[in-house]
Amino acid sequence: MRVLIADDHPVVRSGLRQILASERDMVVVGEARNGHEALDLVRKLEWDVAILDFSMPGRSGVDLLKEIKRERPTRPVLVLSMLPEELHATQVFKAGAAGYMNKESACEELTAALRKLANGGKYVSPMLAEKLASELAPDADRPLHETLSDREYRVMWLLASGRKINQIANEMFLSPSTISTYRSRILKKLRLSNNAQLVHYAVKNRLVA
């Protein structure tokens, strides 16, 4: 199995390599340090499964995942994140991921998850499976942030993480005025008035570390 790794932390990439090196049927064919490198390797290399960090410099998160799936629609992608999987996985799966895993679980579950994905399956943890099942209930109460579009969610997360309007505009290749428009929509949907309330909401709902 040819595995592509995209993560901006050298220690994480090294750890993933060590896990995969112990498996006779797995080999790392490429490593990317940011979203731009990841897209370049996705296009240039032959790979079977990709491991993608949810948050990297440059293009990242849902936008990067969607671009990868446009380039290689049949190849499965496993998203890794330090953020709680039960809070972000819905957005990730909607964007085309075949699995979502908290980085803390990688040592125990990574290789089994990759084999499942390579065989056409999906990977979800027991906690995430329970959340997804509850969301299917007709009377399920959904948090307000789940009403956001993928791009609105990304802008919300970046704002709550402390990014400024201009920084987000550069990262997402959009104009500052467009980001300001997204900010206004987000505040309205979340029933908030300013960035301070947005940060409080994100911390309260464990959307940011």
- Structure confidence by residue, pLDDT tens digits, 39-87: 999 999 999 999 999 888 877 778 899 999 999 999 999 998 887 666 6
Is it the case that residue 209 has pLDDT exceeding 80? no
Is it the case that residue 130 has pLDDT exceeding 80? no
Query: Which structural domain range is residue 117 located in?
Result: 2-135
Pair (48, 111) in one structural domain: yes
Of 135, 164, 186, which marks where a domain is finished? 135
User: pLDDT tier at 106 (50, 70, 90 boundaries)?
Assistant: confident
Of 112, 135, 158, which marks where a domain is finished? 135
User: pLDDT tier at 17 (50, 70, 90 boundaries)?
Assistant: very high
Max CA separation in the chain (angstroms)? 54
Pair (123, 159) in one structural domain: no
Q: Tokens 């330090």, residue?
A: 82
Pair (117, 163) in one structural domain: no
**CATH of residue 160:** 1.10.10.10
Pair (121, 155) in one structural domain: no
How does strand 2-6 pair with strand 27-32? parallel
Pair (101, 26) in one structural domain: yes
Give the chain's domain count.
2
- Count the helix, strand and coil residues of the chain and give each as a percent rounded to the nearest 5: 55, 10, 30
Pair (97, 197) in one structural domain: no
Q: 87-116 burial by CB neighbour count: b if 16+ within 10 A, else e?
A: bbbbbbbebbbbbbbbbeebeebbbebbbb
Per the domain annotation, does 209 fall within a domain? no
Q: For the residues of 172-184, what is the DSSP string, one character each?
A: HT--HHHHHHHHH
Per the domain annotation, does 83 fall within a domain? yes
Pair (118, 191) in one structural domain: no
Pair (83, 185) in one structural domain: no
The answer to whether 54 touches 61, Cβ cutoff 8 Å, is: yes
pTM of the predicted structure, to 2 decimals: 0.67
Pair (152, 62) in one structural domain: no
The pLDDT value recorded for residue 127 is: 66
What value does the mean pLDDT take over residues 16-26?
93
